[in-house]
Amino acid sequence: MALMRSWVESANSADCPFPLNNLPYGVFSVAGSDEGRCGVAIGEMILDVTRLEEDGHISLGEHPVFDCESWNDFMELGAEVWAEFRVWLIESLGEGSEKAVTFADYLVAQADATMHLPLEVMEYTDFYAGKNHAFNVGSIFRGPENALPPNWLSIPIGYNGRASSVVVSGTDVRRPLGQLKGPNDDLPRFGASQRFDLELEFGAIVGRASDDMISVQQADDAIFGYVILNDWSARDIQAWEYQPLGPFQAKATATTISPWIVTKAALEPFRTSTPERERDLLPYLREPGPMSYDIALEVALAPEGKAATTISRTNYDQLYYSAAQQLCHHTTSGCPMNVGDLLGSGTISGPTKDSRGSLLELSWSGQEPVKLDTGEERSFLEDGDTLTLRANARGDGYTIGFGDCVGTILPANDIPDWAKE
């Protein structure tokens, strides 16, 4: 598929992340109002679909669906409406559209908008589906011969996280407090995490509810779209708490997502296969076709007041288990899935050192600090650091972008007197 041209001129550049081929969904507000409105990114602009609905240009059902601060009501309408609405948008925003004059009044500059969470996150599950990441972390703590747990090549491992932790790009992230126990300590102490980290992930958004087991194909059909996701992780808190039930407070500080939901339909030209299997999967997890995507990813780290350094480049296609496989497995117990559930992919690392998706791997747990272009080094994140995660898929003369996923580290809160010795 080649670039589809729009009457919104800024959408017609090969490097524009939001061409007519993309049309991602977000929630924004403008100066003078904190009320979020549903919008569609096109070039450097946002099409205000809430206002279009208010003025009678959109009617998708008996009741308004864009009169709220999320895309959940729209997702509830189902895949047929999703497809029809996308066709309508492409026709309305396409070059030569008769709606150009009218709809131009419904455009808002992205530069003048504040972005909000694009959905109400109902439940949040974080997986561990990147084999390179799992092998690297296992090698650090158990050695390469015992790196992968015995179940890893058979099952998508995950844990139930906190939907309340999910924040939109641009939200500051405060360094967490928690129990810490070093290898030479007899007992834990309470303090600020000193090994705070990022995790480069993707988030899949469930657009169709289920209350019984669904197949991999049905799971793929149920996915509405994708966001970039940063699963902030306090490695020192995690090291003490994770046995025997896994991550808890170490992962509860914040989970940052990019501001735009890129629909599965926009990503269809970039489908590719998951990595070659080292062990046959059970029949219910086998994929009927390509279920991954060719999406380039990168992480940039900027110390406070200084230029950013790109510290990692990798690709979404490194995930061993696709989002559809993750969702399929999630339903096997009869676990109900809701419209608006968010599935984190797990850290996406490539096979080389410069493609690792966390500082734990990049610095090999602090043994090999990462050198920044500013001359500084990082083993883990410092206060004032800003992390920017980016993703794009390159087509024939066009780019599909997600919007940056950004967070800045604030110092930990003071420990209250009643929490001290």
Annotated catalytic sites, by residue? 133
Reduced DSSP (H G I as helix, E B as strand, rest coil) percent helix, strand, coil of the chain, to 5: 25, 30, 45
Please state, in angstroms and rounded to a whole number, the distance separating the CA atoms of residues 148 and 141.
11
CB 370 within 8 A of CB 194: no
Of the candidates 231, 192, 280, 261, which has an alpha carbon nearest to the alpha carbon of residue 400?
261
Each residue of 111-146: b (16+ CB within 10 Å) or e?
Answer: eebebbbbbbbebbbbbbbbbbbbbbbbbbeeeeee
Please state, in angstroms and rounded to a whole number, the distance separating the CA atoms of residues 251 and 409.
15
Q: If you search the block for the tokens 């419904």, which residue do you land on? A: 106
Q: In one letter, which amino acid is 141?
A: F
Please state, in angstroms and rounded to a whole number, the distance separating the CA atoms of residues 393 and 262.
11
Please state, in angstroms and rounded to a whole number, the distance separating the CA atoms of residues 383 and 381.
7
CB 259 within 8 A of CB 403: yes
Q: Is the dihedral of CA 262, 263, 265, 271 positive or negative?
A: positive
